Chains A and B, each alone.
Chain A
């Protein structure tokens, strides 16, 4: 493992990869600061640019954005009570109250140090758990893979904020979009509706840029272009240091948040958002002074901030070792890897160790960069909020159009992206979660291939599952998850 990590740092030490790591962390923070423009949109926007990079450089850049966002979102949560990113929603509650009491620096300092610690714990977890998990997964056959993906999709639907029916509908739409084009086994065209351009299938770039980038553009049009009040951040670095009592009160929440966030990050549908919500609930329950929650409790900042960063790191385990993303952002990272011809999964450690260890090393370095960059540059990052909507919207449109076109040099893809932009807008406005759609789209082809291989081996007999306990376990877990979701929601409705 140490050899692997050293190899990763050697990969990272090239000037190009170092610059990409720095750029990713910086861009991630800026994106985290800007409300609305989330990591999925930014990764989608940058996806075509990464085509010019080697796979390791591309994933280092995109991963930098992903974990940088978790840091950046905190700034606006604390200083403006506006979450720059979904995983920072919880920090708005007590972080902003601390800032109102003149403790903005302490809140940001605790969040930054806690995030750094939690990320380090998360990366260590990734390093320790990935190799044994990869060895376990190598023994998986097609049935196990298909069942694992089914369980993953069920969990995503379970956790989706939009509700089970809407999330399920999105997952099915994603699977359908993933099956457009030539059937991978027989070569028969499917869902092409007589359009020759669809024979090659729908590329992830128009899908991602349309759903996240162009729909964002349309959404921006409906948002009032007003300036929010920003509480003053400290001007000196000493101003970010918490008091002795604040530091003492933060230790246990950071430790709990790190472990909880990491574990939640492993779950499909989990990740940073759920981790931060759960951590807040846990801290409130364990607090000696629960009445302080909502009025500037240090624990309400330290725990969730640690949890969302650990969750971000944890999400890399299913992505890299199983090839299964746990949320929309990691689905786009998977898409980026697939574009570069890299198939994440249990064999990545053997076949492309430079990518795996390069990403791990970049996560270590990226977190140091974020800690060093973030606090001194708070003022600069907050100024990003002053970019007027009209300038941002036109730039998003330009980047989306040229980005989509450059992937396949196909003008049809731009038209397709515009269609997905309208679809994404309607879905978001209707309260549909785009995460399950993108995830199912990315997983779809592998899921179908595994399922059909499994059916072929068993000659259509499902009884074979009784001889495959792992696959059966995953299927039962999927059924139990969906049943639990229905029961819990019915209970909630009855209680109302």
Chain B
């Protein structure tokens, strides 16, 4: 039986059969090995046992070692390229995925300087126009509606403070949001 067939067989419980490793799983495991090494370097600086008993480094050191071992186990597990998710489709070659990812990271990076409203408006328009291929008009309209809705629900109704930006300062002067 091939690994893909094994995965499609009905197990006694959801995790009864160890699934074959995909390329993505191996990449994650490789990341796990690197993270375990970095974590060990950090944890090794901490005291594992002191005069008053177990120290702050005891559990982190144990965890880093175990994590490295398990990540290596996942890395070495037999693989099967046919079990790649979505038939092995590459997310980085998908325009929608890239736009969504850039929008997410863009907002996270712009938030401290530009506040929430302006980056969210730009991100929504970009997601709809470039990620989904809608018209500029629809993207702009939905961007405005969504941002206004979030401001009214979270800022005005729930009183959630927004990160400071040009738009927030204007909204603050109108009494629509509270200052951060």
List chain A positions with a Cβ less than 8 A from chain B: 48-49, 52, 158-169, 172-173, 175-176, 179, 183, 185-186, 188, 190-191, 193, 214, 217-218, 220-222, 225, 273-274, 277-278, 281, 389-391, 393-395, 397-399, 401-402, 405-406, 409, 411, 414-415, 417-418, 421-422, 425-427, 429-432, 448, 451-452, 455-456, 459-460, 488-489, 492-493, 496
Contact = CB atoms under 8 A, between A and B. Distances in A.
Interface string B95-114: 01101110111011101100
B158 interface: yes
A185 B50 CA distance: 12
A167 B73 CA distance: 12
Given A188-B56, A411-B111, A432 B158 contact: no
A429 B60 CA distance: 27
B104 A221 contact: no
Nearest to A214: B104
11 contacts: A162-B15, A165-B18, A169-B29, A175-B59, A183-B56, A218-B104, A277-B13, A429-B85, A448-B59, A452-B58, A460-B54
Given A185-B56, A401-B120, A452-B53, A175 B63 contact: yes
B1 A496 contact: yes
Contact of A190 (B24, B60, B109, B131): B60
A248 to B, nearest CB: 28
Contacts of A425: 91
Contacts of B70: 165, 168-169, 172
Contacts of A417: 108
Contacts of A414: 107-108, 111
Contact of A394 (B1, B43, B128): B128
Interface residues of B, number: 88
Nearest to B101: A218
Interface in B43-87: 43, 46-47, 49-50, 52-60, 63-64, 66-67, 70-71, 73-74, 77, 85-86
A183 B60 CA distance: 11
Contact of A191 (B39, B104, B131, B162): B39
A187 to B, nearest CB: 9
A431 B49 contact: no
Contact of B16 (A214, A409, A488): A488
Contact of A221 (B52, B63, B131, B180): B131
Highest count of chain A CB atoms <10 Å: which of B19, B35, B143, B159: B19
A349 to B, nearest CB: 31
A398 B18 contact: no
A443 to B, nearest CB: 12
A244 to B, nearest CB: 32
A393 B100 contact: yes
A459 B54 CA distance: 9
A172 B97 contact: no
Contacts of B24: 426, 429-431
B104 A492 contact: no
Nearest to A215: B104
A455 B47 CA distance: 15
B109 A415 contact: yes
Contact of A452 (B54, B103, B108): B54
Contacts of A225: 132
A172 B40 CA distance: 13
A406 B161 contact: yes
B131 A418 contact: no
B170 interface: no
B32 to A, nearest CB: 6
Interface centre among A172, A218, A389, A431 (most CB of B within 10 A): A172
Given A160-B15, A393-B127, A411-B112, A222 B56 contact: no
B114 to A, nearest CB: 11
A163 B107 CA distance: 35
B12 interface: yes
